Amino acid sequence: MAEGLKIEIVSPERLVLSEVVQSVTVPGTEGYFTVMDDHAPFMTTLRPGFITVNGLGGRDEIFFVKGGFADVSPEGLTILAEQSVPFSEFDHADLAVQIKAAEAELATAPTPEERSYAQEIVSGLLNLAIEAGQINGGHIH
């Protein structure tokens, strides 16, 4: 049996994380999922959210991911992110600006389809703000 799960988080700018860990919880588009060593292979898309990495030494780390793909293979978990940063670098002020802009788009959306799409964006951003607030308050998935 292997000694842990190999994880790599890669963004266009840099290699964000590369290490062996106990488990990783990831924000898939269908909901959060947890990957441990010897997980069945699969691939999925990611929604904006927070990745929780449970290290082998009991140390947890959290990373923001804007979206992308997760690939679970016999070699481990690879996350190809549109954007990813450690939670300590997550820009809460920018998220507030994005929420205001999305709410303005929703208020002026001319068709039901555009209103529906704008509402999904607003809801997603508000959920992200709630999650970020829970993490700031000490909550980890």
89-98 long-range CB contacts below 8 Å, 24 or more apart? 89/64, 90/64, 90/132, 92/129, 92/132, 95/125, 95/128, 95/129, 95/132, 96/129, 98/125
Q: How confident is the model at residue 137 (pLDDT cuts 50, 70, 90)?
A: low
Structural domain boundaries in the chain:
5-88, 91-136
Q: What is the pTM of this model?
A: 0.84
Highest mean pLDDT among 41-55, 85-99, 119-133: 41-55
Class at the top of the CATH hierarchy for domain 5-88: mainly beta
What is the tens place of the pLDDT at every residue in 41-53?
A: 999 999 999 999 9
Question: How far is 23 from 43, CA to CA, in rounded Å?
Answer: 17
